[in-house]
Amino acid sequence: MPRSSFAAVRQRAQFTGGYPLFAYAALVLAVVLALGTFAYDRVLAGMQTSRDAELAKAEKAIDLATIEGFIQLRNRLNSGTTLLSSHVALSGFFTLLSSVVPTTVRLSSLHLSLDATGKVRLEGAGVARSFNALAAVSTAFATDGRIKDAIFSNLVVNRDNTVSFSLSATLDPKVVAFTP
């Protein structure tokens, strides 16, 4: 019996030699990590306290009248944008007409209307020097593409060989839209 107890003690001594070293290393690592976490928590808490103090100081420096002025300015700018986006500007239309319609055609009346869907309708009447001048206007409208579905009707040859006509067309909405 003494022999077997000696062998068991000897095995236990060899078996426990590596574990205490590993256990102490793990314990030291855990303590270092815990201390590091605690120290980092203190650093972050200090940073948060200083940032909270800076924020409180900045909040006290804010002037409520200035903020109200900025809010009113933002509202005015939004209203201006809304108004300008729906504003009808006819200068683009008249520029288009002056560039497309030849001098041998005169428009004596124009009526523009804007329906709820945003389509712009053109109704008008005029006089052309000849049928060829009227055909040139029709070709120019078709080539340009911003005056669409142009229909010339009520064609009447006058005593001085001029041609009176009525015009009905649809305009591209961009022609009458305000652009800065």
Q: Is 120 helix (H, G, I), strand (E, B) or coil?
A: strand
Q: Cβ contacts of residue 179 below 8 Å, gap of 6+?
A: 89, 92
Task: Give residue-wise pLDDT tens across range 79-124.
Answer: 988 887 777 777 777 888 888 888 888 888 988 887 777 788 889 8
pLDDT, tens only, 44-88:
999 999 999 999 988 888 888 888 999 999 999 999 888 877 777
Question: Closest Cα partner for 147 from 85, 88, 100?
Answer: 100
Q: Looking at residue 180, what is its pLDDT?
A: 62
Edge to edge, the sheet with strand 105-114 lists 105-114, 120-128, 163-171, 147-157
Q: What pTM value is reported for the model?
A: 0.51
Residue 15 confidence (pLDDT): 47
